[in-house]
Amino acid sequence: MSLKEILYRSFMTYFILVTCITAGIMILGLAFDPDARFGYDAFISPFIFAALGVIPNLFMYSSKELSDKQIILRKIMQFAVIEVEVVGMCIISPVIHTEKIEVITGVIISVFVIFILANFISIMNNYFSAKQLTKELMQFQKNIK
Amino acid sequence: MIINISQIKKDEKERLEIYCHKVNNEITEIVRFVKSRQGQLTGIIEGAQYEIPVSDVFYIEGVDNKVFIYCEKQVYETRQKLYELEEALKEKHFLRVSKSVLLNLMKIESIKSSLNGRFTAVLQIGEQIIISRKYVPELKKALKGGNL
């Protein structure tokens, strides 16, 4: 994937995230704390969180075709960055009690589980796509012969 | 160069004749292009030229400004550029699957999933070729009967 392509994708992801985070804040806010009032500075948070959400994607950029080992290494780096970001946000947040070891451990484990799950879904999706492609390939070869 | 195209009767054999002062690189390139369109490639091993039927080719790879033709047992070098071969072999079921590889779809045994949304083509000789994400839509289109 070229740098231009990855920047374009990240740009699109960024604005999708901004929209989703804003909608998420609205839904959760209305459900759990409908009387809360904020200043204009509250509009900044979706932009900041979306930017933090896009940064890990940039770790997968390479102008050359990556080998499987390189992909695994970059995935590990991506995971580490996500962990740092989420834990950092939890520490900054006044409502999350990060002084309790069980809270911070829970956050770290949750991020790990979600990361593994997301990648597992992607791998499975790819596996079924490959199966379908092989089926179509067999049919293609049969038609040509 | 004057170009003449004449239509002939169906029972006559189609032919291409080139009248030139000297067989230079340009002429050789034209000949190679026509041959590849007809299903033959010219490969070189240690200076000797060989005619390779396109149906014997598994894949063609560009490495450091050189282009290599991979058959079951032999690897030939060719003077043709990868993009020229891509154009010439479009109708021979060859497809670009990465920046540097043209793959013969008829020589693929199966397609495996790989990391990061990529696929790997397992060839009939057991070799594995990475299909870049960028070229997957083209592959899907080709297998569904779209234009190569």
CA distance to A56, A97, A105, per residue, from A108 (Å): 16, 14, 5
pLDDT at A1: 63
Q: What is the pLDDT of residues A53-71, one digit of tens each?
A: 899 888 888 777 788 889 8
Point out the residue among B111, B114, B132 whose CB comes nearest to the CB of A134: B111
Residues A52 and A9 occupy one common structural domain: yes
**Nearest CB to A65: which of B93, B98, B139?**
B98
Do residues B78 and B70 lie in contact, with contact meaning Cβ atoms separated by under 8 Å? Answer: no
pTM beyond cutoff 0.80: no
| Chain B residues touching chain A at CB-CB below 8 Å | 93, 98-99, 105-106, 108, 110-117, 119, 130, 132-134, 139-140, 142-145
Write the Ramachandran bin of B68: left for phi over 0, alpha for psi from -120 to 50, otherwise beta.
beta
The CATH class of B25-143 is mainly beta
Measured between alpha carbons, how far is A42 from A39 in angstroms, rounded to an integer?
6
Q: Is the same domain home to A74 and A22?
A: no
Lowest mean per-residue pLDDT among A106-115, A126-135, B27-36? B27-36
In the prediction, which pLDDT does B146 show? 55
Of the listed ranges A45-49, A62-66, B58-62, B141-145, the one predicted with least confidence: A62-66
Is the pLDDT reported for residue A20 higher than 70? Answer: yes
Parallel/antiparallel/unpaired status of strands B101-104 and B57-63: antiparallel
- Shared domain for A73 and A143, answered yes or no, is yes
pLDDT grade for B70, boundaries at 50, 70 and 90: very high
Which pLDDT band, with edges at 50, 70 and 90, does B60 fall under? very high
Q: Are A10 and A57 in contact (CB under 8 A)?
A: yes
Could you tell me which residues come within 8 angstroms of residue B39 by beta carbon, excluding any fewer than 6 positions away?
B53, B54, B55, B92
Residue A78: pLDDT above 70? yes
Domain check: are A43 and A108 in the same one?
no
Which of the listed residues A9, A28, A62 is the one where a domain comes to its end? A62
Query: Which residues in chain B are closer than 8 Å to A77, comparing Cβ atoms?
Result: none
**Final residue of a domain: which of A22, A47, A62?**
A62
Closest chain B residue to the Cα of A63, Cα to Cα: B99
Instruction: Considering only the beta carbons, identify the residue of B105, B111, B145 that sits closest to A130.
Output: B111
Tell me if B54 sits within 8 A of B21, measured CB to CB: no
Which residues of B are less than 8 Å from A65 in CB distance?
98-99, 130, 132
Range of the domain at A19: 1-62
> 9-68 in A: which are within 8 Å (CB) of B?
60, 65-66, 68
Looking at the fold, whether A25 and A95 belong to one and the same domain comes out as no
Residues A56 and A121 placed together within one structural domain of the fold: no
Whether residue A76 is predicted with pLDDT greater than 70 in this model: the reply is yes
| Per-residue pLDDT tens over the stretch B5-42 | 889 988 888 888 899 999 898 888 888 778 767 778 88
Same domain, A118 and A75: yes
- Considering only the beta carbons, identify the residue of A71, A136, A144 that sits closest to B116: A71
Is residue A74 located within the same domain as residue A111? yes
Give A-chain residues touching B117 at CB under 8 angstroms. Answer: 122, 126
For chain A, what is the domain count?
2
Q: Same structural domain for residues A110 and A136?
A: yes
Domain boundary among A45, A62, A79: A62
Chain B interface includes A117 (CB < 8 A): no
Q: How far apart are CA B77 and CA B88, in angstroms?
A: 17
Strand partners, B68: B61, B77
- Most distant CA atoms of chain A, gap in Å: 71
Residues B109-114, mean pLDDT to the nearest whole number: 92
| Residue A102 shares a structural domain with residue A43 | no
